[in-house]
Structure 1
């Protein structure tokens, strides 16, 4: 187990605003022969290789220092971040090569197109006891399934904000996953992979962090980019839950601002470090037209933050997983169950007799919520 709080990244130097940088390039290009003009022998890079006078004039009008102006022009003229681009075909090829993290519920994996995609953000919401943490623990194990078995073969950072991480439960889920993969062995590569896919190694690849309030959570997230750079094998980040720490903030404006910043951080980490980011969220009651309705907490703005939103809910005594939001999948519900092995397909022949029937109001409008917890 590793705590990210032991890390202390060096302070990053302030960067020029993108708008100022773009204005500087526009001004220099204009002084070099028209808007966006290109030299016949040097292209745009030659146009940006400007004289000191042009740099001075452009930096003054753009509101940058000369040093900042030179840094911007060097990046733009050498194919740096300002001039980097990627085609839609390259994005498609990259997406096709990206593996997904299976859930071990074949119906859910099928409607998700193979599981939870790496490099994107996902939110799991639902009432207490429906299985949000159980799914997170399952994913923390499943992300380590070797590639030769169709897995990702990665590590996981698990940020626990509620104290719901149960080690013995992780051991049970890991034991079941190892047993499942051992039954699928067919060749030498898979036999070799099973040598490093054991319960002990699975536990060693889970970096557990305990955050007790929103200050600690934001501090840990500030340290994450450096940790991810030092641990390139991490393919999953779990925050269970994201709603709990922010309940302490009474100022709605402050909470909205912090959540917006948090959403941007998580999306950037998912894309930059190629990790799947999974957060859990509570449900809250919204009153509309004299009727009460259970909807995901944290408001409508937060609901747009994740690429995928998955609702876990009860329908009588049966658990259902519903895709509320996904760029590539329609709204679909599939049954599932939580048993001793973990998150699995529902056994239609047996329903848990100890579970009392719980029926929630219609939640089809959950993704449109503007309520806050």
Structure 2
């Protein structure tokens, strides 16, 4: 049984996972509470409570057999049919949407990495705004969760991008006069900002605790009742997934296990709620064939934790995006711009090259 499914407080789950306990096993129960006090930095009473709840949950699993069989099998034909209805979030750059197959895909985890100043946070804010475009205007009419680990989110910038998004929607669709006025009244920057749930994370334990809590949070924060269309969370943006794990972890093997558990949780969220998970990543240097090269942080094992990987890089004075990994998209690159209005197509088109 996964630790994330135990009836514990998010902070207790985070302490267990950060200590390497991602799945309940005999190893957890064979150690006394005093060991867990030291290992998890908790009181003896709290350790006894964790062991008791874990033991009860695992015993119930064994008695009723509810977790002995993997449910949810479906045919490949059903999967193909479902893919026809998968939705995507536009990036506001037609060229970038084109190489992404129409935009950032829901039900998948997409990693976007690059050097400082390349526009990762700008793209994250753009997606948090664009996911709210009304369904009858080509959008998903959803909400966004923005998890900020670096303090780089700027609400003024989000408002600026929202204003530009509204301007584009009103400009690109043909309205009757009454419809235009109704849409203009409905689409206001303050409405867009109210649909972005912002979390400021200051440690890797907070990051783990929040990701464990997202399942409950997403289920609770949806509009129901008199609304014609319920608004669900349709994108989770983590900016960045890297920061605290590069600062606070010395045990690389433990870091790998913790990150793998976190990635698995995010993949399940994407599938369960049909939402897009976007992980922004930093870069580091890697020694390859006698020279140092730039590569995305967290090592080779982390590269398997996402469905799609997009690398942002400079080509001269122009920004480029490159599809580095995807099971459904071909490798391709395209220029893009970061403007006052947000992410847009590049003003000029250079020869497209691959950085890595």
1:157 counterpart SS class = strand
Match for residue 236 of structure 1?
Answer: 235
Kindly provide the CA deviation profile for residues 96-154 of structure 1, in whole angstroms up to 9, marking residues without a partner as x.
Answer: 11210000000010111110011110001000001000100100101101111111110
CA distance in 2, matches of 1:114, 1:183: 20
Kindly provide the CA deviation profile for residues 152-192 of structure 1, in whole angstroms up to 9, marking residues without a partner as x.
Answer: 11000000000000111111100000000011232469645
Match for residue 210 of structure 1?
Answer: 200
Closer, same or farther: CA 187–140 of 1 in aligned 2, 3 Å: same
Kindly provide the CA deviation profile for residues 176-232 of structure 1, in whole angstroms up to 9, marking residues without a partner as x.
Answer: 000000112324696455543221110000000000110111111111110011124
Kindly provide the CA deviation profile for residues 302-354 of structure 1, in whole angstroms up to 9, marking residues without a partner as x.
Answer: 111111101010011111000001111111110001110001000018x9xxx
Kindly provide the CA deviation profile for residues 286-312 of structure 1, in whole angstroms up to 9, marking residues without a partner as x.
Answer: 112221110111011111111110101
Match for residue 252 of structure 2?
Answer: 252
Closer, same or farther: CA 9–313 of 1 in aligned 2, 3 Å: closer
Aligned mate of 2:163, from 175, 178, 193: 175
TM-score (normalizing by structure 1)? 0.73
Match for residue 165 of structure 1?
Answer: 153
Kindly provide the CA deviation profile for residues 60-79 of structure 1, in whole angstroms up to 9, marking residues without a partner as x.
Answer: xxxx96x6455227x89xxx
Matched, 1:94 2:94: no
Question: How many pairs were matched up?
Answer: 294
2:186 counterpart SS class = coil
Query: Does the 8 Å CA contact 1:148/1:190 hold for their aligned counterparts?
Result: no
Match for residue 115 of structure 2?
Answer: 127
2:152 counterpart SS class = coil
Gaps of 5+ in 2: 1-7, 14-22, 25-57, 223-231
1:242 counterpart SS class = coil
Match for residue 319 of structure 1?
Answer: 319
TM-score (normalizing by structure 2)? 0.76
CA distance in 2, matches of 1:196, 1:220: 32
Match for residue 292 of structure 1?
Answer: 292
Match for residue 277 of structure 1?
Answer: 277
CA distance in 1, matches of 2:355, 2:335: 16
CA distance in 2, matches of 1:177, 1:94: 29
Matches within 5 A, 1:151-162: 151-162=139-150
Match for residue 71 of structure 1?
Answer: 64
**Structure number with higher relative contact order (C-alpha < 8 Å, ≥ 6 residues apart):** 2
2:343 counterpart SS class = strand
Gaps of 5+ in 1: 1-6, 18-63, 352-360, 365-373
Matched, 1:226 2:216: yes
Closer, same or farther: CA 71–163 of 1 in aligned 2, 3 Å: same
Alpha-carbon RMSD: 2.7
Match for residue 172 of structure 2?
Answer: 184
Query: Does the 8 Å CA contact 2:10/2:210 hold for their aligned counterparts?
Result: no
- 1:363 deviates by 3.8
CA distance in 1, matches of 2:315, 2:344: 17
CA distance in 2, matches of 1:225, 1:164: 25
CA distance in 2, matches of 1:324, 1:71: 45
Match for residue 109 of structure 1?
Answer: 97
Match for residue 199 of structure 1?
Answer: 189
2:118 counterpart SS class = coil
CA distance in 2, matches of 1:215, 1:237: 18
CA distance in 2, matches of 1:269, 1:246: 21
Match for residue 334 of structure 2?
Answer: 334
CA distance in 2, matches of 1:198, 1:88: 42
